[in-house]
Amino acid sequence: MRIAVCVKHAVDETELKIDSGGKPLLSGATSRMSTFDKNAVEEGLRLKAAHQGEVVIFTVGPSDSKKTMKEALAMGADKGVLVTADTTSIDTMRTASLLAAAIKKAGPFDVVLCSEGSSDTYSGQVPPMLGEMLGAAFTGYARKLEVNGQTARVERSLEDSLEVVEAPLPVVASVVSEINEPRYPTLIQIMQAGKKPLEELNGDQLQPAGAYRQASVVSMSAQQSARKHVMIEGSPDEAAAKLVEALIREGVLSK
Amino acid sequence: MSGAVWSYSENESVSNEVASAAADVAKGASAEPVVLEIGAVRAGVRAPGAKLLLKGPATSDVPPEVAAEAIAKASKQLQPAAILIGATRYGREIASRLAVKLTVGCLSEVSKLSADGNALAGERNAFAGKVVAKVSCALPAIATVKVGYYAAVESAGTAVTESDVGQVNPLVKVVSREKKAAGAVDLRSAKVIVSAGRGVKKKEDLPMLEELAREMHGALGCSRPLSSDLGWLPEEHHIGLTGVTVKPDLYLALGISGQLQHTAGMKDSKVVAAVNTDKDAPIFQASDYGIVGDLYQIVPAIRKALASRR
Ligand SMILES: Cc1cc2nc3c(=O)[nH]c(=O)nc-3n(C[C@H](O)[C@H](O)[C@H](O)COP(=O)(O)OP(=O)(O)OC[C@H]3O[C@@H](n4cnc5c(N)ncnc54)[C@H](O)[C@@H]3O)c2cc1C
Ligand SMILES: Cc1cc2nc3c(=O)[nH]c(=O)nc-3n(C[C@H](O)[C@H](O)[C@H](O)COP(=O)(O)OP(=O)(O)OC[C@H]3O[C@@H](n4cnc5c(N)ncnc54)[C@H](O)[C@@H]3O)c2cc1C
């Protein structure tokens, strides 16, 4: 079985600095593997363990992304394909079309895995776009995934229900974090990851089809929050009574 | 391009929110807001103007693959200026597929939508809510609209027109669908939300918080781990970046650490109060009132304080 896993080198939001004018300092921000993409890699490895084959990591991003790809290789993926592009200026559709072009070039694949949404910009759009572009079945928010013969059986977690669906291979799926517990690579695996093949494709040469006007970011500013920060002290009974009093005074609690 | 701004959600109450967004956009684009129905007209779906029924699919219970194909077919005929889809788990798939089928850009997770010149503009969170970004895309454009921001549209709607989109044969077959535990909540319209985090030790303790919510005339919400990892509550209870956005008069966070991804979904609440055993928990930075303490002691004490006022 050939398994493609799409992994994003995402800005680490915990490290992101805001300048004195309230603007995020994106250039020079540290990046790491998008949180839930670890679950996608883990699921790919789990499928490989059950069905043999190989796991190939696909990333669209700057060459710094190799750091993240090596982490996926250390977890156990077999090789990586990096499509170099300036991800700060492309929208979800361009990202998906670059991924689709690279996946087609290295294909065919039986299963293509993504996560439900990236930890930095969480659009949740790249996975279904990929499904559509590859002409494959797509199923999102998988919390369980099994392949039997030429059919994938997926448990999808929706807002108020669990849906079981079946789809013919090849299938594109996005996973939720509950699907598995991602492994940590060992030191030896981390050292060996450097020797695994990592191909680089130039995004400009993977000319994606179809011209359109991309979605773009107009401006960014730090989230403002003005809260009172009143700490209420005393025994549980005293503190609770003071809190209830304060909330009534605020007019947010009807008696 | 026709002067129409379409809105759609498979979820009736989300559809009513997205219709409000469409009304705002339509105003700026001197266009008409049009609410889409697929397969059949739903009684709970309201509209600021007309409804357009896409006929072909057998019922109104349509999977995202079918919805996207139906809307794409109609769109190629009728050429709307913008299509707004509720950012639910189905909705994100519908909008993304539509963007590819129609080759147009797609804003994601937006609120405060408007038509700005010849573009669709909106605001969204990024970097776990640390940043607010203004985004835009030239018309015709698509957007997924953040759930919980817009008030539901009030008017029942005017005429229904029909468009035949024929049959769609999806690749993905639904084998079964099972409701998750516990009844439906409407966190989006609740004035008070009592929200449970991992500080709650076991599922059996949730009724205590449910009681408190009831006594405050509110609803129970939760952090993502409680619905996703632990499965104690359905996903629609979960507040934050990946869940619902809420802005009640009072948000009472119990045993929630206050990670950015959580506060992104409740930061517009009027008053925020928090109870946490850890005095350094980030939730206190996002709160008006804080109590450092054990929720298992504080919750009964709050209930007692409320009871003594009746
Ligand atoms: C502040 C801000 C706002 C933005 N708003 C919009 C917007 O409204 N509309 C829009 O079209 N674009 C927007 N973008 C651009 C968008 O973030 C990028 O196009 C990004 O490359 C893909 O979006 P995502 O990470 O949100 O994808 P998601 O769809 O959330 O990603 C889901 C999964 O797809 C895979 N994936 C995503 N990106 C990559 C990648 N580069 N390489 C490998 N796998 C990947 C991963 O498996 C990931 O977990 C915005 C960017 C910023 C900085
Ligand atoms: C891409 C992405 C998206 C995410 N989206 C969301 C989202 O939409 N919503 C969301 O909620 N999370 C989201 N998360 C997860 C988020 O980062 C946090 O992990 C999560 O919010 C933590 O939940 P918690 O506060 O309940 O648990 P914890 O962080 O474990 O906090 C539990 C808190 O309870 C306190 N406590 C313990 N015992 C008691 C007691 N007896 N009384 C009082 N306090 C007590 C502890 O001091 C602690 O502060 C997302 C994560 C990622 C990576």
Name all domains of chain A by residue range, CATH numbers in brackets.
Answer: 2-211 (3.40.50.620), 225-255 (no CATH)
d(CA A12, CA A34): 8
* Structure confidence at residue B1 (pLDDT): 46
CA distance A112 to A2: 9
Cβ(B133) – ligand 1 distance below 6 Å? yes
| Residues of chain B with C-beta less than 8 angstroms from the C-beta of A227 | 272, 285-288
Return phi, psi of residue B139, to 5°: -75, 150
Output phi, psi for A215, to 5 deg: -70, 145
Q: What distance in Å separates the CA atoms of residue B245 and residue B260, rounded to the nearest whole number?
A: 13
Residue B183: pLDDT over 80: no
pLDDT at B2 over 70: no
In terms of residues, how long is chain A? 255
What tens digit of pLDDT does each residue of A82-141 get?
Answer: 999 988 889 999 999 999 999 999 999 999 999 999 999 999 999 999 999 999 999 999
Contacts of residue B130 in chain A, CB cutoff 8 Å? 13, 16, 18, 24, 222-223
Q: Which residue of B has its CA nearest to A137?
A: B171
* A204: phi then psi, degrees, rounded to nearest 5: -65, -25
Q: Which fold has domain B5-164?
A: Rossmann fold (3.40.50)
Q: Give the model confidence (pLDDT) of B124-158 as tens digits.
A: 999 988 899 999 999 999 999 999 999 999 988 88
The tens digit of pLDDT for each residue in B67-100 reads 999 999 999 999 999 999 999 999 999 999 999 9
Judging contacts by C-beta atoms under 8 Å, the chain A residues touching residue B278 are: none
Candidate from B108, B257, B279, B295 with most ligand 2 atoms within 8 A of CB, to mutate: B257
pTM above 0.90, yes or no: yes
Q: Which pLDDT score, from 0 to 100, does residue A209 have?
A: 60
Check residue A222 and give left, alpha or beta (phi > 0: left; psi -120 to 50: alpha).
beta
> Which residue positions in chain A have pLDDT lower than 50?
none
What is the third-level CATH fold of B187-309?
A: Rossmann fold (3.40.50)
Burial class (CB in 10 A: 0-12, 13-18, 19+), A207: exposed
Which tokens sit at A92? 């979800």
Residue of A nearest to B121 (CA): A218
Q: Within 13 Å, how many C-alpha atoms sit on residue B289's CB side?
A: 24
Over the stretch B48-70, which tens digit does the pLDDT of each residue have?
A: 999 999 998 887 789 999 999 99
When pLDDT is cut at 50, 70 and 90, the band that residue B310 belongs to is confident
Asked if B171 lies within 8 A of A168 by C-beta distance, the reply is yes
A184: CB partners within 8 A, 6+ apart: none
Compute the distance from residue B238 Cα to the ligand 1 centre, in Å: 22
Span B254-309, pLDDT tens digits: 999 999 999 999 999 999 999 999 999 999 999 999 999 999 999 999 999 999 98
pLDDT, average across residues B164-188: 82
CA of A60 to the centre of ligand 1 (A): 10
Our answer on whether the CB atom of A114 is closer than 6 Å to any ligand 1 atom is yes
Report the residue among A126, A129, A134, A179 best suited for mutation to probe ligand 1: largest number of ligand atoms under 8 A from its CB: A126
Pocket test for ligand 1, best of B100, B108, B145 (most atoms within 8 A of CB): B108
What ipTM goes with this model? 0.94
Question: What are the residue ranges of CATH 3.40.50.620 in chain B?
Answer: 5-164
Q: Is the N-terminal amide bond of B48 cis, ω within 30° of 0? A: no
Cα–Cα distances (Å) from B183 to A227, B42, B44, B234, in that order, read: 33, 21, 18, 9
Pocket of ligand 2 contains residue B137 by CB under 6 Å: no
Mean pLDDT of chain B: 93
Closest residue by Cα to atom 1, ligand 2, is: A119
pLDDT given for residue B59 in this prediction: 79
Looking up tokens 């939720």 gives A176
Nearest chain A residue to B170 by CA: give it. A137
Contacting residues for A167 by C-beta, under 8 A, at least 6 apart: A137, A138, A139, A151, A152, A154, B171, B172, B173
